[in-house]
Amino acid sequence: MLEVFMLLVAFQFKHFICDFPLQNQYMLRKMNLTGWKLPLAAHAGVHALGTFLITCLLFKPVYYIDAIVLGAILGTADFIIHFVVDRIKASPKLGGRFNPTQPYFWWALGADQMTHHLTHYLFIFVIVMI
């Protein structure tokens, strides 16, 4: 139970640090109509690195998989999921067409955050169940 709690706290901190303090002006270009792929990849890469580090630090290796391998797998999954979810939210044709005065903006932001948290819960489940 303590392991699950530690992982929940670690992923919550990771999400905050990667989405706010570590997201710089370059990464915010992910909202642009053009030239958004590399900034979004950089942002998703920071999240992937955070997941890799958490897994390597908190996963207890077992005889058939070690922490680095599992960290690489979950980090890659985090990169892909974070990239896709953030693009949907930022896309001018989807969530990015709304502004903070519209309810749909907050719905898109909430769905984005919920998806990221559910992704972390899945990672925690994998880490604990292996």
Indicate whether 51 pLDDT > 80: yes
Number of domains into which the chain is organized: 1
pLDDT tens per residue across span 53-83: 999 998 877 776 888 999 999 999 999 999 9
Give the range of the structural domain holding residue 79, as residue numbers without chain letter: 2-129
Q: Considering the entire predicted model, what is its pTM?
A: 0.91
Q: What is the mean pLDDT of residues 3-17?
A: 96
- pLDDT class of 7 with cuts at 50, 70, 90: very high
DSSP string, the chain: -HHHHHHHHHHHHHHHHHHTTT--TTGGGGGSSSS-HHHHHHHHHHHHHHHHHHHHHH---BTTB-HHHHHHHHHHHHHHHHHHHHHHHH-TTTGGG--TTSHHHHHHHHHHHHHHHHHHHHHHHHHHH-
